[in-house]
Copies of this chain bind each other. A is one copy, B any other.
Amino acid sequence: MIISMKLHATKQEIDAVCDRIKEFGYKVHSIAGEERCVIGAVGVGDVTACLESLEAMPQVETAMRISAPYKFVSREFKRNKSQIKANGVEIGGDEFIVMAGPCSVESEKQILETAHAVATCGAQFLRGGAFKPRTSPYDFQGMELEGLKLLRKAKQETGLGIITEVMSDRDVEMVAEYADILQIGARNMQNFSLLKTLGKAGRPVMLKRGLSSTIKELLMSAEYVVAHGNPNVILCERGIRTFETATRNTCDITAISVLDELSHLPVVLDPSHATGKRSLVPSLARAGVAIGADALIIEVHPQPEKAVSDGAQSLTLPQFAAMMADLQPYIALWKKSRVAELATA
């Protein structure tokens, strides 16, 4: 920790801060500058509690931690990228992964037709929500258990893995029976009660970044799941909320590279939610492959204009097929560099 004292702090006030630091088990290095005193604290202790305490002292200007607040999810804890297995497929390995499907499961016909189409185009996972987080209480809230059963049927017919959202700790067990990957939506990224339950879920978890969550907070939420017993966490960039209204969200594509520097966990890009507009999805998907994401998750619907949710950002089946074809040379470049990277790891 680095503690910066206010200007004109007295020796007595500086000593009080040093004493407090020592109470938490740290060693103290005090540096008297021209203008103000700065104190370094080193050692092992309860950093958060110590910082909280120091920040509350009247003569302390700022108190900052130097070490990262997360551990298990960091590159420092595990040098090599993690491969996470679901339905026999590895995410974070040398295969580029595509998850595709409708926003919501709406009917047997809709989900089976989509599943067959995306499987044919090379997707490995079927997405589709049975529990839907909706801003309005009056909007369609999902088919719930019936939707989960339709997803299972689609899996049986196509072999695709299933990724679907769980919104409450009460539903984790039930959803885990049907899903290969449990998806946590942006609005639940800091639902700490849910995160703790996911630690015991026995299924990989894909954690979507919150609308206004920092990269560090995303990693802290992943740390929750891992610290509670589940190391199989996948991160997902889906756009953040900014002042720009031309797109539904603002895709923070650089977050993919930042996460790759800070963490060993695989990262997925969701260009559908990031843009909110069908015509912008294919070019952003290309950028996602080029920057080095491990996977894409794409909304696809046989009849977007009949979709109960997110129709404007859903590709039609032919559009999805065209996008997959367009991506092939980029995926080939991705694979080449990934294989080289894994060889030297």
Contact = CB atoms under 8 A, between A and B. Distances in A.
A134 B295 CA distance: 30
Nearest to A303: B56
Interface in A151-179: 167-171
B246 A52 contact: no
A284 B250 contact: no
Contacts of A305: 20, 53-54, 56-57
B211 A212 contact: yes
A52 B330 contact: no
A258 B246 contact: yes
Contacts of A309: 52
Interface stretch (A86-94, A116-124, A183-191, A200-208): A183-191
A107 to B, nearest CB: 15
A247 B287 CA distance: 18
A49 B308 contact: yes
A133 B190 contact: yes
Size category of the A interface is 35 or more
B38 A40 contact: yes
B40 A31 contact: yes
Contact of A193 (B66, B76, B168): B168
A342 interface: no
B250 A254 contact: yes
Nearest to A62: B66
A121 to B, nearest CB: 19
Contacts of A217: 135
A39 B54 CA distance: 20
Interface string A1-26: 01010010000000000001000000
A216 B246 contact: yes
A192 B220 CA distance: 22
A31 B2 CA distance: 10
Nearest to A53: B305
B304 A280 contact: no
A310 interface: yes
B48 A138 contact: yes
Interface string A239-279: 01111111100111111111001000000000000110011
A190 to B, nearest CB: 4
A192 B142 CA distance: 13
Contacts of A330: 290, 330, 333
Contacts of A168: 169, 193-194
A55 B286 contact: no
Contacts of A212: 210-212, 241, 243
A312 interface: yes
A216 to B, nearest CB: 7
Contact of A312 (B56, B214, B220, B280): B56
A40 B254 CA distance: 31
Nearest to A311: B56
Given A137-B227, A245-B245, A247-B258, 4 more contacts: A52-B310, A53-B311, A54-B305, A69-B135
18 contacts: A7-B76, A33-B66, A35-B67, A38-B42, A56-B306, A69-B138, A133-B192, A137-B224, A168-B169, A212-B212, A244-B255, A246-B258, A254-B274, A254-B275, A258-B280, A287-B291, A289-B290, A329-B333
